[in-house]
Amino acid sequence: MIRVATYTRVSTLEQAEEGYSINEQQDKLEKYCELKDWTITQRYSDPGFSGSNIKRPGISELVAAAKQGDFDLVLVYKLDRLSRSQKDTLYLIEDVFQANQVEFVSLSENFDTSTPFGKAMIGILSVFAQLEREQIKERMTMGKIGRAKSGKAMGWSKTPFGYNLVDDVYEVDDFQATVVKRIFSDYLSGESPAIIAKNLNGEGHLGKGKPWSWKTVKDVLMNVIYTGYISFKGELYPGMHKPIIDMETYKKTQTQIEIRRVNADNPRPFRAKYMLSGLLKCHYCGATLRIAVSVNQRTKARSYRYNCPSSHPRKASTYKTKAVCPFKLVYKDEMEKRVIAEIEKLPKNFKQKQEPGVDLDAIKKQIKLIKTKQSKLMDLYLVDGIDMEELNRRNGEFNKQIKGLEQELSATPTKLDVSEMLNRAKNISELTYDEQKKLVKLLINEIEVSNDSIKIHWRF
């Protein structure tokens, strides 16, 4: 005996316009079972429910019973009674019915999963289900872009610290906004995210209901939302909310984040004890010069000097040669004076040193243009019917172009906004030692030192 579960569904609109009443559907299913000598053991129904999704009480009961093995076959009058979504239909047939040894039959289409034709139809259905998924994904993306363009809050993301969500718009929380401003100010003054978090926690300031960490501080520093803009997929859209910081401060912060990232292998720029720590490289072997301290036994006075670790016979490095490096020691104070003198000359010589850089905006526009072409290509496939082979070929060319441009973009060094630092460089001798140290780290990437000269590699 084949145990059958029937399922019927109708929306109010369908019943009015097409006459798909629950009773009419059930009557046809009953007669078909009599003809096949099948026994109906369960009857499930969803009157007044749309078939656009499977969040329906009747379907939920049907799925639960299938998993318990209460019947051998599910019978519907028409395929769209089960669902109007190919994606959901495939899920029910493959992941619910067949996964629990339950066959499926649709009367009108003569669709029977126990037959070779029915099994082939599942494969066809899966192709259209995948297409439906892609179309849903595209519609969701377009909806999110539309939301971003409206300037309203992005409903799927958490409300950022510093704002409250009121009627789909971020409103500034005055107290939290002062904390946000302080985070940016402290970071640009040289503090690390970890120190900023420690200070905030020590003063009793909480983030979103929990203590600050270096990561939550970093999230604030990198969130463009504080400039009054909404970001989605790399594009910025004017928001309806008020900014907490200006765009110039945000850009300076991103520059600092990049500088510190690049220097991750060197002593932390703003925490190194000495001005030139991590910057001095040996001209002869490439080793990083190290600070050494000697004490006068008579006066107990200390003197500081930089030397090359490869210059000692027992510590000879293998950077470029196994031979002992010929580098001679250089005193710390003397080297710092030479570097400061070079920095003081920088504002006057900057125009000669500046080289034309890569137009980053132009590269980004090219990438955006190619992605637009990709979108139009998909429209041609869906509407005008270009074949899959041509679609894949042209899409592959576009992806190759985008990859090349993105590699060029990532390989382009960050161009620093140095105007403010150049102004400070004029008066570097008047700054405190800590202020000089910070400015040196911002301006200089590396200093190549030989026994009779130095060569400074600037960051721009």
Q: Distance between CA atoms of 311 and 160, rounded to whole angstroms?
A: 54
Provide the residue type at 296 as one letter: N
For residue 280, give every residue at least 6 positions away whose Cβ sits within 8 Å of its Cβ, in sequence order, or none: 288, 289, 306, 335, 447, 449
**59 CB burial (10 A radius; 0-12, 13-18, 19+):** buried
Spatial strand order of the sheet with 280-282 comes to: 280-282, 444-449, 454-458
Q: Are 87 and 132 in contact (CB under 8 A)?
A: yes
Q: Are 88 and 53 in contact (CB under 8 A)?
A: yes
Q: Distance between CA atoms of 451 and 446, rounded to whole angstroms?
A: 17
For residue 155, give every residue at least 6 positions away whose Cβ sits within 8 Å of its Cβ, in sequence order, or none: 147, 168
Of these residues, 11, 106, 277, 317, which one is catalytic? 11
Q: Distance between CA atoms of 265 and 281, rounded to whole angstroms?
A: 14
Active site (annotated) includes residue 114: no
- Residue 208 in tokens: 């979103």
For residue 445, give every residue at least 6 positions away whose Cβ sits within 8 Å of its Cβ, in sequence order, or none: 279, 457, 458, 459
End-to-end CA, the chain:
83
At how many degrees (to 10) do helices 433-443 and 332-353 cross?
50
Q: Distance between CA atoms of 424 and 418, rounded to whole angstroms?
A: 10
Which residues are the active-site residues?
Answer: 11
